[in-house]
Structure 1
């Protein structure tokens, strides 16, 4: 799927469940929650988890969790961006242009 198709799919999926009804302050909370879960997945991937109440995951399972958590972050970011009429592609293009301008050699 291309980015625009993915964003539309996420928007439709979230709308069917009423999840787009949440305002931006609640949505940003969900985004931060998912960012925390991504941080946990990165830590588990890099240094493992020392929890006797959890089974040890394989590196492939840890990688899959990273992928899923990154998707959760992107999904919440896409829905938040949509509230302001911004696409992820538009945000990434602006980010790229900002970095090029900031770090261009003179």
Structure 2
């Protein structure tokens, strides 16, 4: 699936569940929550959680959690882009151009 198809799929999936009703400020709050969960997944892989109430995860389980959290962050970014009618490809192209110009 390419990014354009995925952007539409995410929008449709969330819309069907009534999850697109939240405005940008609330969506950014969801994004920050997901970013925190992503940070926790990275920490678990890199330095561990060191909590007796949480068992150590196997490498494949920790990687799967990381993949899922990256997806949650991406989904929320896509929903923000959708709220402003910005195709994700435009974001990718603009970011690439900005970096190439900055570091030419």
The question of a shared fold, defined as TM-score above 0.5 by the shorter chain, is answered with: yes
Shift in Å, 1:19:
0.8
SS in 1 for 2:20: helix
Shift in Å, 1:55:
1.8
Structure 2 unpaired stretches of 5+? none
Structure 1 unpaired stretches of 5+? none
Runs of 4+ in structure 1 off by over 3 angstroms are none
Shift in Å, 1:88:
1.8
Superposed, 1:5-84 pairs within 5 Å as 5-84=5-84
Aligned positions, number: 104
Superposed, 1:90-105 pairs within 5 Å as 90-104=90-104
Q: What is the distance in 2 between the residues matched to 1:9 and 1:55?
A: 35
Q: What is the distance in 1 between the residues matched to 2:30 and 2:85?
A: 19
